[in-house]
Chain A
Amino acid sequence: MLVHLPPPWNPIFGRLGLILHYRYNNPMIFFAFELVFVGAAILLFWLTCTRRWHTLWRDWLTTVDHKKIGVMYIVIGLVMLFRGFFDALMIRTQQAMAVGPTAVSFLGAAHGYLPPFHLDQVFTAHGTIMILLAVTPILVGLMNLIVPLQIGARDMAYPYLNAVGLWLTATAAALVMIALFIGDFSHAGWVGLTPLTELAYSPGPGVDYWIWAVQIGGLGTTLGAVNLLATIIKMRAPGMTWPRLPIFTWTSVATNIIALTSFPVLTAAVGMLALDRYVGTHFFTAGLGGDLMMYTNLFWTWGHPEVYFLVLPAFGMISEIIPTFSEKPLFGYTTMVLASMAIAGVSWSVWLHHFFTMGASPGVNTYFSIATMLVGIPTGVKVFNWLFTMYRGKLHFETPMLWAVGAIFLLISGGMTGMMLAVPAINYIVHNSVFVVAHFHNMILVIVYATFGAVTFWFPKVFGFKLDGRYGRRFFWSFTAGSLLVFVPMYLLGLMGMTRRLDYIAHPAWYPLLLIQVVGIGIYILSVIYFLGMLAVSINRRETRRVGADAWGSARSLEWATRSPVPFYNFAVTPVVHARDEWAWRRERGLTDLRPERYVDIHLPRNTVVPLVIGAFSLVFGFAMVWRIWWMAACGLVGVIAAVIIRSFARDTDYVVPAEEVRRLEEAAARAPRPDTATAAAGATLPPHAQPSVRS
């Protein structure tokens, strides 16, 4: 057992005997179980009835197509967003119920209905899921989808690695979901507060679930960053010089430099924590030479760059949407690129602002305060440039534009509160309060708004039809109303002195505002319904909503210079780029005909099951490590290594689509502008050569 743990433990089942101690009669757990398993059962039933297993396997589970991988990342992200939203619902209702000593009390709680044992897991899971398993996958998915198209590439530089990244992310998500039912999840906050995460204070398997979800998911994201950088550096179409790179691709460069340099720090920090918990080292314990603030430093050395990893692609999306719906190129392109790089650069040197209250000397706090505020400069520049892009433009408030403009307003208010927090004298009274929570939700809403905008914006490119605008607008306005009702009161509560992560509210003065937040959550539920309605209506009426290559009529960059939905080979022939806004350049010159003069053979990667296998084995490994079932962990690890080795001998990893076949597909698509979407989702069906080869 390596370290001293309270029993039970045995060599075959590890610590699994612990689950006999949990109370599974809690209706909340039962409800979650229903939701997950009934949902999964319906899905499996539907797949079987409509005979989609084969399609699912061939077109999705074994694919290396960057577009499908992108879509799957986004689907994982949306599912986890939904899970995280349930967590939020529980936190908000618990706090509204547990006010004052006479608050109602049931289900084992002293106040409200969630005792700390549950609430602490809920808010830890909420943060971990939303940052690492919802927003990150959605953004990685969008970059996966759009970047190769924007630079005129056939696929990512390493398509197989791309699929590995996806399945590792899925594994991390699966581990967090398993923690809901088998054992418990971490109780120590999404940041993994030391020494609370050490064995003495977290003896259960919860922190171990958190550790392995973070490690496996983080590895996936790091691999994704390597891939995106290599793709952007090496796979650009002829003529796509750096000064012509679309702005979203530029922000992807900046953001993936951040990911590549910062995620290893997280891996190292959490790895050392794992050593503490598994082999009894003392990296971060309070005593015996451990340094718990070292963990905090390392965590935020990753954590702060991570928040900019999230926001930079969002800035890129806003910068793509606004010119399109202003019928005007982006104002100050060079400045925007410089600003993105500056934000990335500064983001490494500000981490200490997350713990000004540690008691560092005034010199240290002054340095980190000023460094933090420097980030505000390029951020301010971006706001001005969007403003001047719209100035003398012709603004069309389609749904993507609504989200983008909403994001700017949010950025202004979130930037303002960020600049307040960056002043230590102010930080001392609002740190660890819900004011901070409101600040970063405000900022993350910038990302969410930009992302919803981007999803509506690029949806027709990927699927060939537009999302319904009426439902889209209802979704936007209800989501906005919900956000205001939740987060404005949260800011106010922070100024009243309310601190974060409370299970019990001692001060009745906070009650009215907590109640307003619950109303806001109710309106969020309404917005989820509008979102699902938007999807249903759009898919139902997709035949009437088909679009051509340029879905919005005023799009600008290269991804619009191919068919919608994008064929599996992206472009019939590799495009030659002439200008910064290539599609706008061609449109102005009337060069919008997509038929090439000559077709050539296309070389593409072949499907493979190896990434899925790696994902499955790493899930086995992660689960076994959580419960300390050593034999099973060894099997999982050996499985991963074996899969990687076997794959490295595979020769038959790609195939060629002959020029004639490309011509046939292109002409068929040109003749029948309204193909059946069942097969056209995220590209067309694969031709026979794309089947997984037996050897890999």
Chain B
Amino acid sequence: MFNRLKNHSRIARLIVLTPVAFLGGCADRPFWLFHPHGPVAGAEFHYLIADVIVLSAILLPVTALLIWVLRRYRAAARAPHDPRWTHSTRLEIVVWGIPLLTVGVLAYLSYQGVFAVNPYGPRVLARAAAPERAAAQVSAEPGAGLEVDVITTDWQWLFVYPSLHIASANELVVPTHVPIHFRLTSATVTNDFFIPQLVGQIYVMPGMRTEQSMIADRPGAYHGIDAEFSGPGFSWMDFKVRALPRAKFEAWVRRAEHSNRRLSFRTFARFARPTVNLAGTITRFSKVQPGLFAHVVAQAKAGKAYPTPYAFTEDMHEAKFLRHAD
């Protein structure tokens, strides 16, 4: 099913994109959702196309019929008028049957899709475990891929690489072709982890742990977004994503390891104070205290909060606010 969709979607992409491409302005490929660079986002895009095709097969003819009726039976057209024609059992069956059939097809599609991109173990990733990917395993990671712990604060992202003992704030760097497994939690309010070109959304909630998985197929820079409104600093809470070939990734890890910023439970508490990342600051940490993720979850469960100051962003130019800006 999934593979067959691929061909359709290429045609559909042409049809959909041609008229709207020029609307996107000058940036190349502004429609992030139409240019997935990983199997999870790819599957999500293909389900989008498949769904649109099935729906269009019904809705376009209905729309055409509607327009035809509106023209044909306008009073001026003097078409036959039959005010007694108000019931037809055969038509009633058609009328219930067509939507029923459509929903049946879509329900099957949806059922498949749920498992294909299930954040707790997407089937498309299992399928995507091609030999080249196996060959590209990161040295520090003996198992099936790379673990990344995602911790959100008000209003920053912290990406902890527990097996590498490093962390990176507001930038996620991953090797290409390697399955990345995320565990996510929040120190404060609910956020929503989203990299449009690589993987769909998953909530990041305080005192709870969610998971997500993805693979980046191509090296490149991507945009990570906090999709769930989380308070005054929310709009500046996006993060950069870089997918690097294996060698470059390892070089990046080594640089992070040499960072003189350490991350312990105590320094995390300082990091988690309300901060609006106005300048898009990126920080790297070395020697991350093991168990930070579990610590944050436990603290949130125990009632730890990082309160938002009163009328925090009423004036973003004054010193009171700028103390919280990065």
Binding site for B on A (CB under 8 A): 6, 18, 21-23, 105, 108-110, 115-118, 120, 184, 187-189, 193-196, 198, 200-204, 282, 285-288, 292-293, 326-333, 335, 355, 357-359, 361-362, 365-366, 369-370, 373-374, 376-381, 383-385, 387-397, 405, 408-409, 412, 415-416, 419-420, 422-433, 489, 492, 495-497, 499-504, 506-513
Contacts and interface: CB of A to CB of B under 8 A. Distances in A.
A592 B278 CA distance: 72
A420 B52 contact: yes
B98 interface: yes
B238 A23 contact: no
A200 B317 contact: no
A286 B111 contact: no
Nearest to B306: A200
B81 A392 contact: yes
A358 B317 CA distance: 36
B217 interface: no
Nearest to B107: A370
Given A21-B310, A428-B200, 9 more contacts: A287-B300, A359-B203, A376-B103, A384-B94, A392-B82, A420-B55, A425-B116, A429-B48, A509-B30
A357 B75 contact: no
Given A6-B310, A425-B43, A327 B55 contact: no
A453 to B, nearest CB: 15
Given A328-B83, A499-B194, A116 B201 contact: no
B66 interface: yes
Interface stretch (B117-125, B130-138, B167-175, B243-251): B117-125
Given A419-B106, A429-B201, A204 B41 contact: no
A374 B47 contact: no
6 contacts: A108-B315, A193-B190, A333-B86, A397-B74, A419-B106, A500-B229
B207 interface: yes
Given A287-B207, A359-B203, A429-B201, A373 B308 contact: no
> 4 closest A-B pairs (Cβ-Cβ)?
A428-B200, A425-B113, A380-B99, A509-B27
A203 B92 contact: no
Query: On chain B, which size bracket covers the interface?
Result: 35 or more
Nearest to A293: B205
Given A187-B231, A412-B63, A429-B33, A370 B304 contact: no
Contacts of B116: 425
A501 B227 CA distance: 9
B110 A424 contact: yes
Given A117-B313, A195-B206, A492-B20, A503 B235 contact: yes
Contacts of A496: 24, 30-33
A108 B316 CA distance: 5
Contacts of A419: 51, 55, 106
Chain A CB within 10 Å, residue with most, of B62, B66, B211, B299 = B66
Contact of B47 (A194, A288, A383, A426): A426
B228 to A, nearest CB: 6
Nearest to B27: A509
Interface in B282-311: 299-311
Given A203-B307, A293-B205, A193 B51 contact: no
B156 interface: no
B180 interface: no
A555 B10 CA distance: 51
A495 B115 contact: no
Contact of B70 (A293, A373, A405): A405
Interface string B14-52: 000000100111110011111000000101110110011
Highest count of chain A CB atoms <10 Å: which of B48, B58, B211, B230: B48
B128 interface: no
B1 interface: no
Contact of A381 (B83, B86, B96, B205): B96
Interface of B: 20, 23-27, 30-34, 41, 43-45, 47-48, 51-52, 55-56, 58-59, 62-63, 65-66, 69-70, 73-75, 79-83, 85-88, 91-92, 94-96, 98-100, 102-103, 106-107, 109-111, 113-120, 154, 186, 188-190, 192, 194, 196, 200-203, 205-208, 210-211, 223, 225-236, 238, 278, 299-318
A109 to B, nearest CB: 6
Contacts of A377: 96, 99-100, 103
Contact of A424 (B103, B114, B235): B114
A392 B78 CA distance: 10
B87 to A, nearest CB: 6
B106 A193 contact: no
Contacts of A389: 86
Nearest to A381: B95
B25 A512 contact: yes
A22 B109 CA distance: 53
A387 B117 contact: no
Contact of A201 (B41, B226, B302, B308): B308
A118 B235 CA distance: 13
B23 A120 contact: no
A327 B73 CA distance: 11
Contacts of B207: 286-287
Contacts of B111: 366, 369-370
A333 B58 CA distance: 23
Contact of B87 (A22, A332, A408, A416): A332
B239 to A, nearest CB: 11
B70 A395 contact: yes
A390 B69 contact: yes
Given A332-B95, A387-B66, A412-B59, A429 B41 contact: yes
Contacts of B98: 380, 384
Nearest to A426: B48
Given A196-B231, A500-B229, A512-B23, A425 B316 contact: no
B106 A408 contact: no
A420 B51 CA distance: 7
A442 to B, nearest CB: 13
Contacts of B231: 116, 120, 187, 196, 201
Given A332-B95, A392-B85, A433-B227, A369 B303 contact: no
Most buried by B among A204, A285, A396, A425: A425
Nearest to A95: B235
B272 to A, nearest CB: 13
Contacts of B109: 423
Contact of A366 (B32, B110, B117, B317): B110
Contact of B201 (A198, A390, A396, A432): A432
Contacts of B82: 328, 392
Contacts of A329: 83, 86
A494 B323 CA distance: 34
Nearest to B108: A370
Contact of A287 (B27, B75, B301, B313): B301
Contacts of A423: 47, 51, 106, 109-110, 113
B85 A204 contact: no
A387 B59 CA distance: 13
Nearest to B312: A117
A408 B103 CA distance: 20
Contacts of A194: 190
A499 B227 contact: yes
Contacts of A370: 103, 107, 110-111
B314 A115 contact: yes
Given A21-B310, A116-B232, A395-B75, A286 B45 contact: no
